Amino acid sequence: MTLLITILVLVLIVWAFEYFYLRSGHRIFPKLVDNPEICQVFDSGPETSPSQKAVKSTVKLLAGRIKTALDKHLLREARTVFDSISEGREYASEFRQVDAGGVAAEWVLAPNADPTRRVLYIHGGGFIMGCPKSHRTITSRFSEVSGCAVLSIDYRLMPEHRHTACVDDCRSAYRWILKNGPEGPGETQKLFFGGDSAGGNLALSLAASIRDQGLRAPDAVVAMSPLTDVTFSGASLRDNYPADVMLRRVMGTLNRLPQFIKSWWVLWTYRVRPADPQVSPLFGDLSDLPPTLVQASEAEMLLDDARRYVFKAHSAGSPVKLQTWTNMVHIWQIFYPDLPQAGEAFDEIGKFLGEQS
């Protein structure tokens, strides 16, 4: 009997530790209701359009190859497939390799880019894949619509490095870009952050960290389909699972795990509790943030990560805006110019950044 009681007490302690500490704060969000004051929805039309069908077919193929490689523990092969997303395209922009304060990076310069106006861009890829090359479609168009020099960083990836290495590289690149441009040393006049998916996570976390340290804030932040909650508690993870042709391939197994197991998996993988704002910016203080534009697809699994972040930041008094598109794949902007909606999203980004100038 004593042994049974001891086991029960230990089980209770482990459960309480997970529920009240590892994912503390995950219960603070009620069911969301669209707020027209900060939300704008773009109708993408029927998902049977030729451009959408072609992109979805491409995404299914790429996601399938990545999933197969990951299942076989062939991470290098998965990264090669992921990096091929932007291959075979012609760019008007110039690409210059640079050491950004100890972080490998490249400047992306559209013909109209002003070297004193800069964007620190952080690519996505689940913290384990991606590089400046994989995201050249995004960074090139970003430079065009913003008129900025874009610094796309090649931060250290997991699992070779801990998640803190990703964060440290973003901070180092931020300090460097303040005083260095594509032509050499020089103060930045305007500074914007951009990022997609995991990169959106890092961009939002970096903006909050800078505020907390009293450093120079970016003039604006653009986050595309950001991951904001690694407790993985958003309802859209389940509701949009059938429609998300990209993320369901690589997040399907995780999505089926009980919440208790997810928390311990994140703790093991990230070496930080899931609800820590460093990895889950949704659970941090979202007041006094710079103007922020978040874009997401109504059909993707991370929709509620975007919506909850924007609604909470708005409630905290920060100037935020959410734009969503129907029937789009996760990070559809990377398929510019094949998708008209990608061009539309970039036009909105250009308009938003122009308002901050």
Catalytic residue, from 93, 134, 143, 197: name it. Answer: 197
The whole-angstrom separation of Cα 107 and Cα 143 is 10
Confidence grade of residue 30 (pLDDT, cut at 50, 70, 90): very low
The whole-angstrom separation of Cα 133 and Cα 154 is 9
11 within some domain: no
Q: pLDDT, tens digit, for every residue of 219-233?
A: 999 999 999 999 998
- The answer to whether residue 298 is catalytic is no
6 within some domain: no
Confidence grade of residue 123 (pLDDT, cut at 50, 70, 90): very high
Helix-then-strand count for the chain, H and E: 11, 11
7 within some domain: no
- 279: containing domain: 33-355
Relative to beta strand 104-109, strand 94-99 is antiparallel
- The answer to whether residue 197 is catalytic is yes
| Per-residue model confidence (pLDDT) at position 1 | 62
Percent of the chain with pLDDT over 70: 91
* β-strand partners of 148: 114
Confidence grade of residue 35 (pLDDT, cut at 50, 70, 90): confident
9 within some domain: no
Catalytic residue, from 205, 300, 314, 318: name it. Answer: 300
pLDDT at 260 over 80: no
Of 6 and 210, more confident: 210
Percent of the chain with pLDDT over 90: 77
CATH of the domain at 273: 3.40.50.1820
Inter-residue contact 195 to 203 (CB < 8 Å): yes
The answer to which of 28-32, 79-83, 194-198, 246-250 has the lowest mean pLDDT is: 28-32
Of 53 and 272, more confident: 53
Catalytic residue, from 140, 146, 330, 348: name it. Answer: 330
Please tell me the total count of domains within the chain: 1
| Per-residue model confidence (pLDDT) at position 96 | 97
Of 239 and 272, more confident: 239
40 within some domain: yes
| Per-residue model confidence (pLDDT) at position 8 | 56
pLDDT at 108 over 80: yes
pLDDT at 24 over 70: no
pLDDT at 15 over 60: no
Inter-residue contact 141 to 336 (CB < 8 Å): yes
pTM of the predicted model as reported, rounded to 2 decimal places: 0.92
Tokens of 199: 């990169």
- The answer to whether residue 330 is catalytic is yes
264 within some domain: yes
| Per-residue model confidence (pLDDT) at position 263 | 78
The answer to which of 15-24, 220-229, 241-250 has the lowest mean pLDDT is: 15-24
